[in-house]
Every structure is written in structure tokens, then in C-alpha cells.
Amino acid sequence: MKKITIICISLAAFVVVALAAVYNESNFSSRGRMYQPAPEGHLIGQDNGSGGGLHHPGEDCGTCHRVGGRAESHLFTMAGTLYEDRSARSVVKQGEVIMEDWDGNIISMTSNEVGNFWTYSPVASDPYTVSNYHGHEPFVPMYVEDEEGNLLEPADPDSSNTWHYKTWIRNGNAYRPMASIAGVGGSSARNRMSCNMHHGGVAHRAGGLWVGKGSTLTSYPASGLSYQKHAYPILRSKCSPCHIPGKAKTSVNTKTALPEFGVDSTCIDYSGGLDLMTYEGSTVKVPKLGDDGKPIPNEFDTYSKIGVLGVVNTNASEQSALLLKTVSGGTQHAGGVFWNDSSLDYIALRQWIAEGALEN
């Protein structure tokens, strides 16, 4: 019996060592996980801390909840606020924030009366973390390798920059994948931040994650739909965080996302080259950044994207990519499912397209 236990323990130890030593890119890449549904089977809300946490909804919890901050006694690994939509008009109570970390651990948090959620659960560290400034160069490996590419020293697991995860938000049956897979982050001076920093609202100063189930407007006319009054507000409130003009890439934060591995290996353009904030599409020129992270004079990167017109079919409105990609039972979409064919927003968009998808 004892012998078996010892064998088991050493086997387990071997497996752990093997996992730590073998670098598996597919274990964590935004491309590889682009179409993954939210994980199931875990205990919902299992990773919430106890206590009230009813203050400062929408603010960056990390300003106080960090090492050396005013709330250092409550050092979260992740925290934030959950809203119904990007305008952050109303919060989601009892929504679920699901994180899957680098090791495949599932962390589940439930939002409270003010939409706040938080956890103290450890987030696995990516030994091959690359530090960068918001996905821009310079890309500096935080790990040490020998000439053969063997890992000599992993990135410091105590640094929250190395904690990597992927996130989904669930609100009843609806779930929404969150595109960003940045590390938990901050810097040595600012060692914790929160979801509220990045997933910012549009109309509201505060940030926050959002997952909308309801329709954008409470009602739509049966005919005579308008782009300005009806279609655009839907696209703005549901599609804007991803389908925007300009650069829209997940940040470079692990070894295989470095340019020498092909920038696209783990990085994705989360707009898919589609800008739904403009009718005819957009071309945006942004200054190119040098190795020091500063703009190079007179050098630009150009991002050209198709617009709403490029994904509508006025002869068969239901067959429009805009609807097929987003309706329940339609084609696979990295942004997830937004409605079914009896949802008000869906019917309004379909009608607007059938009426010629005019820029009215």
C-alpha cells in the first residue's frame, strides 16, 4: 500500500515537472481558444471572497487593492464590476465571471448587488511571459533561456504580469467571451489592476465587463427602420468593443506571440478586419512604434477594414453575414451568439437590411 502511494506521489511529481518543463502553446493562445464555449461543470461562484464589497463599482479596484495600497489587507488576484451593456447604465447582479488560467484551472465569481466581483484565488503564471507596453514593442522576455531554447529561469510567478487567463461572462443562459488575454498586470509600482481598467464603458466614465441579454432599444417600428436611429445603436452597444476601426489586436504576452514566431501565432485581430462602427469601412493610420515604444517620425501602420455594407445581403437579409455570424444556430463566431431569430434587435436589423440597408 505504502509502495503504491509512493509510486503515485512520484508519478504525480513527474507529471508536474513534465508539465512545467514542456512548453505547449496550444495550452494558452487566443487563436486556439477563439471559438471555445464557456467552461461547464465547476461550482458557480466558488472563488468569490466573503464580505460586502459594495463600494466603488466601476472603478479600478487595483488603485487601492494592491501591495502598498489603501486596501492592502484585501489583496485580490482579480476584481471588477459587471454591467448589462457597454454604456454601463445598469449592473448585472448574480452574473458569473469565469476565468480559465494558463494551467486550465477554472475560477468562477458571482457579481453582487452593485455588480462587483472579486477573488483571492491564485491565477497560474505563464513561465514564458513577455513584458510589453499594451501590446507594443519593445517585447522583453521575462524568462531566461539557453542557446538551445531550454528554459533556465521562468518568469517570476509572483509578478502579476505573468498571470494569464481567458475570460467569459455568463448571465443566465447567455455567455460572452472576453477578447483580451492580457496579464493581470500593472507594473512593479502598480501590481494589481482590475477588469474595470480595460473593459471600459462608452458613455460612462467607469469601466467594467458587460454582457447584454436584452434588446438595445425597448421597441422598433415594424418598417421604415433607420441606420442612425436603430441599426447603429445596436451595433454600437453590442459589437463595438471588437469591431472597431484601427488596431485591434490582443496583446503580445507570451513567447510564441513574439514576431520571430510569427506575430499571429497566439495574437488575434479581435475585429476580424471588420469595422461595424462605420457604414462603408475605414482606413486608419497610426504612428509606427520603435523598439523604445515611441512613435517613429513619419512612419505609419495602416489598418483598412470593411464596414457594415460589406456584411449585409439586401436580397436575402437573413443570409447576411452580419446576422448569420451572431444568431443562435448560425455560423461559428469568435464574438459569440447575441440573439435568436425572435429577438427584437435581430428582427430590427433584418428589417433594416431587407429595406436596402440604407445609410438613413
What H or E segment, with its residue span, contains residue 2? helix 2-21
Q: Which of 95, 129, 135, 170 is nearest to 251 (CA)?
A: 135
- Cα-Cα-Cα-Cα dihedral sign, residues 61, 67, 73, 75: positive
Strand order across the beta sheet in which 96-101 lies: 106-110, 96-101, 165-171, 174-178
| Region near ligand HEC per CB under 6 A, out of 15-23, 45-53, 161-169, 281-289 | 45-53
Query: Angle at CA 174, nearest 5°, toward 171 and 179?
Result: 90
Q: How far is the CB of 167 from ligand HEC (least distance, A)?
A: 10
Q: What is the distance between the alpha carbons of residues 148 and 296, in angstroms, rounded to a whole number? A: 34
Each residue 184-213 as x (binds ligand HEC by CB under 6 A) or -, in order, gives ----------x-x-----------------
Q: How many residues lie near ligand HEC (CB under 6 A)?
A: 44
Q: What is the distance between the alpha carbons of residues 103 and 126, in angstroms, rounded to a whole number? A: 8
Each residue 112-141 as x (binds ligand HEC by CB under 6 A) or -, in order, gives ----x-x-----------------------
Which residue from 141, 272, 290, 330 is in contact with ligand HEC, where contact means CB under 6 A? 272
228 by Cβ neighbours in 10 Å (0-12 / 13-18 / 19+) ranks as exposed
Which residue from 92, 197, 231, 322 is in contact with ligand HEC, where contact means CB under 6 A? 322
Which residue from 27, 39, 71, 229 is in contact with ligand HEC, where contact means CB under 6 A? 71
| Region near ligand HEC per CB under 6 A, out of 57-65, 124-132, 150-158, 258-266 | 57-65
Task: Give the footprint of ligand HEC on this chain (CB under 6 A).
Answer: 49, 51-53, 55-57, 59, 61, 63-65, 70-71, 73-74, 79, 81, 116, 118, 177, 179, 194, 196, 238-239, 241-243, 268, 270, 272-274, 276, 311, 321-322, 325-326, 333-335, 338
